Structure 1
Amino acid sequence: MSDVAYWYAISAVVLFFKMFANSLYQAYHRIGKQAFKTPEDARFVGRTPLDEELAPVQRAAMAWRNDLENIPIFLALGVAYGWVGASPGAAGWLFMTFTAARILHTIFYLMALQPWRTIAYGVGILCLFGMCWQIVTALMG
């Protein structure tokens, strides 16, 4: 297995577990407080549906939406990175730094920590640009 494929696979798995943990965080707050916005879920536990989600659930949902704007781009660029034979040496740094930045972004989002959330987001975006640079360089080389 190539270094690129190795780091890509590790990143993809870690990002999956990060997103799954975000789902568990939402479930923890909904189930723990027996507070559901969805009518059938509220009825299932004998409650009235909420007019809006609990604040921690809302924050987790916003972090989730941000993941859905960034992680698929990373996954697509990672495939292209491997296909074109971009730098194996840079792959580990770019892929794992992106992954760490996304984990920190979610933590900072859930804890409402600025400017740290924006810094983590920016680091992840820089990694995506770095991946693009490596891909274009490989294509031109």
Structure 2
Amino acid sequence: MTEYQFYALTTVILFFKMFAISIVQGVGRLNSRTFVTAEDARFFAHAPPAPDEAPIVKRAALAWRNDLENIPIFLFLGLIYVTLGCWPGGVYIYFTIFVIARILHTIAYLNGMQPWRTIFFTVGMFVCVALSIQILSAVL
């Protein structure tokens, strides 16, 4: 598998990971029968809207927001890393570590597992820093 193919695979895996968080939110709403929007409350629960989301839905939303703060940065750095032809082995090592860290971060976030959530977040950030350093070294 080429570095670009591995980048594409990484991107798709991260998409499905984020899509899974959306499923957790939907299932959480259905299982708790808690809907904050009027049309969803009427349609799914035949009840007035709830004043607040169910706890699992809130956690999933926070995990999703954290992904939006981290995954796009990684994807941009990863694309630049591959395009510049930085260390080819790094594509397989760094990208794999990032994907695993983000998956474990989501699991830890959904289950309220500290310090693991912070550890997995930090591992992912270290990958982005390593990519950045190698990109800088390639262009300077």
TM-score, length-normalised on structure 2? 0.95
Q: Distance in 2 between matches of 1:106 and 1:47?
A: 31
Provide the residue aligned with 2:129 in structure 1: 129
3-state DSSP of counterpart to 1:83: helix
Provide the residue aligned with 2:15 in structure 1: 16
Q: Distance in 1 between matches of 2:100 and 2:70?
A: 13
Q: Distance in 1 between matches of 2:38 and 2:99?
A: 35
Q: Distance in 1 between matches of 2:131 and 2:5?
A: 16
Q: Following superposition, which runs of at least 4 residues in structure 1 exceed 3 angstroms of deviation?
A: none
Structure showing greater relative contact order (alpha-carbon pairs closer than 8 Å, 6 or more residues apart): 1
The percent of aligned pairs where both chains have the same amino acid is: 49
3-state DSSP of counterpart to 1:49: coil
Q: Is the 8 A contact 2:98 2:123 kept in 1?
A: yes
Provide the residue aligned with 2:86 in structure 1: 86
Q: Distance in 1 between matches of 2:77 and 2:131?
A: 7
**How much does 1:69 deviate?**
0.2
The equivalences for 1:42-57 within 5 A come to: 42-45=41-44, 46-57=46-57
Provide the residue aligned with 1:107 in structure 2: 107
Q: Is the 8 A contact 2:38 2:49 kept in 1?
A: yes
Provide the residue aligned with 2:34 in structure 1: 35
TM-score, length-normalised on structure 1? 0.94
**Count of residue correspondences:** 139
Where in structure 2 are there 5+ consecutive unaligned residues?
A: none
Amino acid at match of 1:64: W
**How much does 1:85 deviate?**
1.2
Provide the residue aligned with 1:138 in structure 2: 138
Where in structure 1 are there 5+ consecutive unaligned residues?
A: none
